Amino acid sequence: MDFKTVMQELEALGKERTKKIYLSNGAHEPLFGVATGAMKPIAKKIRINQHLADELYSTGNYDAMYFAGIIADPKAMTETDFDRWMDAAYFYMLSDYVVAVTLSESDIAQDVADKWIASGQELRMSAGWSCYCWLLGNRIDNEFSESKISNMLDLVKNKIHDSPERTKSAMNNFLYTVGTSYLPHHEKAVETAKAVGTVEVKRDKKKSSILNAYESIQKEIDKGRLGFKRKHVRC
């Protein structure tokens, strides 16, 4: 399938109701409003195609950008490629659920995520923390440095309440993910989450989100899901 055909198929799958939901979460035109599940049949026909993924991502169309993440070849992408994708990620559904997810399946994930976390830029920081969430929830524990994850927990404890809104949300999710999926620091994550307490994330034209990683971790413990790892990151 070529670029034109994919764009036509995505447009045909668009729903006004879905489009309104995406717009209310921060997406802007152009977009069609395609439910992510509806993209799977097209993705099965294409499988992996990095050239087409880059073409689609560069359109600025939210649905095309999301679909680009599904068919991208993360191991073929360089740090420059990921930075270029990140530059175009204008809201969290792209930074955290497209770029960070794609990065998490690459061999350079931690190196790039570390730079983004240190960048001081809200969505880059959010994507960096989110990438670690995807990594920790999928890869085996010994792929990570225990001292590094420990230092990251300390950083969350000291900085989360003063961080930008989307970064706060991703940092809180990192706390939850370490507490649930990374057994070497489960106890430290629980203690850190307890110390952090409730995190308020303010949202444009919507009520604030109230997050509590400690309570979320406890729910997973109650369900017997400690050490949970997902088989796949991308859909």
57-73: pLDDT as tens digits: 999 999 999 999 999 99
In a domain, 70, yes or no: no
pLDDT band at 205 (very low <50, low <70, confident <90, very high): confident
User: What is the rounded distance in angstroms from the CA atom of residue 165 to the CA atom of residue 159?
Assistant: 12
**How far lies 132's CA from each of 42, 153, 198, 210, in Å?**
28, 12, 21, 22
Q: 184 lies in which domain range?
A: 110-235
| Any domain includes 135 | yes
How far apart CA 169 and CA 156 sit, in angstroms, is 11
Does residue 223 fall inside a structural domain? yes
63 belongs to a structural domain: no
Assess if residue 151 is contained within a domain: yes
pLDDT tens track for 13-26: 999 999 999 999 99
Burial 18-52 (b: 16+ CB within 10 A, else e): bbeebeeeebeeebbbbeeebbeebbeeeeebbeb
Both tokens of 224, joined, read 């017997």
User: For residue 53, is it within any domain?
Assistant: no
The count of domains in the chain is 1
pTM of the model: 0.96
Mean pLDDT across the chain: 97
Residue 93 inside a domain? The answer is: no
Q: Does residue 78 form part of some domain?
A: no
Query: Of 158, 150, 94, whose CA–CA distance to 124 is shortest?
Result: 94
